[in-house]
Amino acid sequence: MSTTDETRAARPAGRPRSARAEQAIIDATLGLIGEGMNIAELSIEAIAARAGVGKTTIYRRWANKEDLCVDALARLKSPLPELRGDSVREDLVAYLEVVVRDACDARSRCVMSIVMNDAERHPRLVERIRKATIEPRREVLAGVLRRGMATGEIRADLDLPVAMAALIGTAMWYMRDARSGGPEEPATGIAERIVDQHLAGLAPAA
């Protein structure tokens, strides 16, 4: 073994991660995209300059720009609460409250819109983002509805994809479009109203 190899072997595998530096990198990535920089224009150099770190600091944490983008965009989404499973209604309300909260976040809407518009030029990246940010949530929602079908709280012949689209679509439309055309309503209580309105149609026949 050479002296260089011995030195590398003795050196710790990696420096302790700085939570502050990592957050600065994430914020820099989201900030640049939010200002209109598309994925092709985004560079590790620009991110490092905005974050006030060296490129090596970024590469210690992410192998490439794509990995960094996926991680940054995944962090835009609020974490889902633990769904207790006491009733489908309670779980749906808790779920939609997070959807509504994210829909109210102007930066989140802007950044996700810019990235999704790059789907044709960067299909692999956008697909990874969908898998990291959208599909896990869809599975949680599907699980809540399946449980309701099994317990008889909602119809057993439910068209699951349509029901999911109706719930999410209503929340997104209401918070983005309906509120922009008139007096702004507080987001509090919107999730309950949406769930109760939909459950009236999803309930099993008497």
Does 60 share its domain with 160? no
Q: Report the domain count for the chain.
A: 2
pLDDT above 70 covers what percent of the chain?
85
Q: Are 54 and 48 in contact (CB under 8 A)?
A: yes
Q: How many CA atoms lie within 13 A of 43 on its CB side?
A: 5
Does 7 share its domain with 60? yes
Does 117 share its domain with 60? no
Q: Are 14 and 60 in contact (CB under 8 A)?
A: yes
Does 158 share its domain with 183? yes
pLDDT above 90 covers what percent of the chain?
47
Q: What is the CATH number of the domain that holds 171?
A: 1.10.357.10
Does 41 share its domain with 129? no
Give the pLDDT confidence score for residue 189 in this predicted structure. Answer: 83
- Exposure string over 10-37, b if 16+ CB within 10 A, otherwise e: eeeeeeeeeeebbebbbbbbbbbbbeeb
pLDDT exceeds cutoff 80 at 57: yes
Does 66 share its domain with 136? no
What residue numbers bound the domain in which 163 lies? 88-202
Give the pLDDT confidence score for residue 178 in this predicted structure. Answer: 52
Q: 9 is written with which tokens?
A: 């072997």
Does 196 share its domain with 94? yes
pLDDT exceeds cutoff 50 at 164: yes
Domain's final residue, options 44, 74, 104: 74
Does 43 share its domain with 92? no
Domain's final residue, options 51, 74, 97: 74
Domain's final residue, options 21, 47, 74: 74
pLDDT exceeds cutoff 60 at 181: no
Helix (H) or strand (E) holding 88, with range, is helix 88-103
Quickly list DSSP for 110-159.
HHHHHHHTTTTT-HHHHHHHHHHHTHHHHHHHHHHHHHHHHHTSS-TT--
Does 64 share its domain with 131? no
- Predicted structure pTM score: 0.76
Does 113 share its domain with 196? yes
Q: Average pLDDT for residues 29-58, to the nearest whole number?
A: 92
At 107-158, the pLDDT tens digits run 787 787 777 777 788 888 888 888 988 899 999 999 999 999 999 999 999 9
